[in-house]
Amino acid sequence: MEPYRVRASSWASLFDCAHRWEGTHILGMHMPSSPRAQLGTAIHAATAAYDEARMRGEAIRALDVVPVLVDELNNPERDVNWQADELSRRDAEAIGRNLLSRYCQEIAPRYHYVAVELEVVPWLIDCGGGIVIEIRGTLDRSRARADGAGGVGICDLKSGVNAVSQGRAKTKGHAPQIGTYELLYERTTGQAVTLPADIIGLKTSGAPEVATGQIVGAREQLIGTDESPGLMDYAADMFRSGLFPPNPTSHMCSGKYCARWRVCKFKDDQS
């Protein structure tokens, strides 16, 4: 059989609701992006352009990458339903400019990046029974940072209405993706990840905020032992059996976020 090709950036959502993940990434069920999701894409593109320029040693300002933000909002590569919520393009641009400026002034100077959205060496995972998963793509929205003493760690940008709470970036639920990124970075570069991961939160609702939070030991959740299976072992079981369990308690269990929701018998659509 051909390997199941999995985008590295999608891996974490498999452990949120595998049924939703199967619908999108195996069955090919799609839906238009929301305005706020597209705003996140635009912010990430602009911050990546800024960080890449700094890595090349170029003098750059936040203002110089605003055109990247605006182009992503006005010329998206995917369908966007601008009627999905109350966020207009004009408001999205205003929020995006604010967060972009704050990221460049408050967050980026803290880090010395050595890679931005790194393209990874594909990782083949043998699930048994002739089933193989191939994780590939780029470490979307992430950067690798160095501490000047030989240490390397992953920074990952997360945007959204709840990305920052009480002055701290939300880290809950992000460990599977971070752990995957750490393992892929090591396999691609041959360099060990020794620093904790930093989540960089960019809040897109209310008063825009930027903040960081830390995740320690993300890889340990993925890698199993003889005594205790890891998330990779559970994923292998899903692919080998073809059973991708639903999670109606997921905050993504909504017609707004899930392409499978309308036909899913497991959904919780009670108000």
CATH number for the domain including 158? 3.90.320
CA-atom Rg of the chain in angstroms: 19
pLDDT computed for residue 270 by the predictor: 64
In degrees, rounded to 5, the angle at the alpha carbon of residue 243 between the alpha carbons of residues 226 and 127 is 40
- Identify the DSSP state of 82: T
pLDDT tens, position by position, 154-166: 999 999 999 999 9
In the predicted structure, residue 84 carries a pLDDT above the cut 80: no
For 83-94, what is the mean pLDDT? Answer: 88
Domain span holding position 86: 4-263
For 38-46, what is the mean pLDDT? Answer: 95
**Quick check: is 59 in a domain?**
yes
Please say whether the beta carbons of 100 and 43 come within 8 A: yes
Residues 50 and 66: their CA atoms lie apart, in Å, by 10
| Burial label, 75 (beta-carbon count in 10 A; 0-12, 13-18, 19+) | exposed
**Quick check: is 268 in a domain?**
no
**Quick check: is 269 in a domain?**
no
| Burial label, 180 (beta-carbon count in 10 A; 0-12, 13-18, 19+) | buried
Q: Band of the pLDDT at 196, cuts 50, 70, 90?
A: very high
**Quick check: is 270 in a domain?**
no
pTM, full prediction: 0.91
CB atoms within 10 A of CB 270: 5
**Quick check: is 239 in a domain?**
yes
Please say whether the beta carbons of 203 and 160 come within 8 A: yes
pLDDT computed for residue 158 by the predictor: 95
Alpha carbons within 13 A on the beta-carbon side of 198: 20
**Quick check: is 114 in a domain?**
yes
Helices and strands per DSSP (H, E), number in the chain: 8, 10
Residues 90 and 69: their CA atoms lie apart, in Å, by 12
Q: Which amino acid is at 202?
A: L
Tally of structural domains, the chain: 1
In the predicted structure, residue 1 carries a pLDDT above the cut 80: no
Q: Band of the pLDDT at 83, cuts 50, 70, 90?
A: confident
**Quick check: is 271 in a domain?**
no
**Quick check: is 241 in a domain?**
yes
Q: Which residues contact 52 (CB under 8 A, 6 or more apart)?
A: 116
In the predicted structure, residue 54 carries a pLDDT above the cut 50: yes
The rounded mean pLDDT for the chain is: 92
